[in-house]
């Protein structure tokens, strides 16, 4: 996955999750890939399963928040993001999506407050998204 060979990673994660059903990391990585490529139902099943096994895990909550946002379930999305916002909300991949969900829900001031907390020191590939979110929420 780190080498950018996502198809090979997908096969490896599937095999690893089948070989060792107790290891949650391959399942999480597979769910992330499914989410990235729009296999929403498959990703949802995996994140739901992970959520039962790792209650309160911030990475799982982010996945569930992103899924709910994609499905248009703003209430659930905001609920998931709000559970992790205090500690992890400054991370761009969390704070930006949280701000988008809040804005769509009509909570512009809250969206802007969350946006202002995003750590901009190392946006990397998220820089363009950061600027789009700023425009979208009226910053």
* Mean pLDDT of all residues in 8-20: 64
Place of tokens 């709910």: 68
d(CA 103, CA 43): 25
116 closest CA partner among 133, 127, 124:
133
Residue 104 has pLDDT above 90, yes or no: yes
d(CA 116, CA 43): 30
In this predicted structure, the answer to whether residue 3 has a pLDDT above a threshold of 80 is no
Q: Following DSSP, what letter does each residue of the chain receive, concatenated?
A: -TTS-HHHHHHHHHHHHHH-TT--HHHHHHHHHHHHTT-HHHHHHHHHHHHHHSTT-HHHHHHHHHHHHHHT-HHHHHHHHHHHHHHHTTSHHHHHHHHHHHHHTT-HHHHHHHHHTS--TT-GGGHHHHHHHHHHHT-
Per-residue pLDDT of 44-69, as tens digits, reads 988 998 888 888 888 899 999 999 99
The Cα 58–Cα 94 span in angstroms is 10
Are the CB atoms for 120 and 95 separated by under 8 Å?
no
Write down the pLDDT at residue 107: 96
């Amino acid at each position: 996955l780190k080498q950018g060979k996502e198809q090979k990673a997908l096969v490896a994660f599937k095999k690893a999750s089948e070989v060792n059903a107790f290891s949650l990391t391959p399942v999480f990585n597979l769910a992330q890939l499914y989410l990235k490529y729009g296999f929403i139902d498959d990703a949802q099943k995996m994140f739901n399963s992970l959520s039962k096994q790792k209650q309160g895990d911030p990475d799982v909550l982010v996945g569930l928040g992103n899924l709910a946002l994609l499905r248009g379930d703003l209430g659930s999305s905001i609920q998931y993001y709000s559970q992790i916002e205090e500690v992890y909300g400054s991370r761009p991949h969390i704070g930006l999506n949280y701000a988008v969900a809040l804005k769509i829900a009509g909570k512009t001031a809250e969206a802007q407050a969350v946006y202002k907390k995003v750590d901009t020191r190392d946006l990397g590939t998220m820089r363009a998204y950061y600027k789009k979110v700023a425009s979208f929420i009226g910053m």
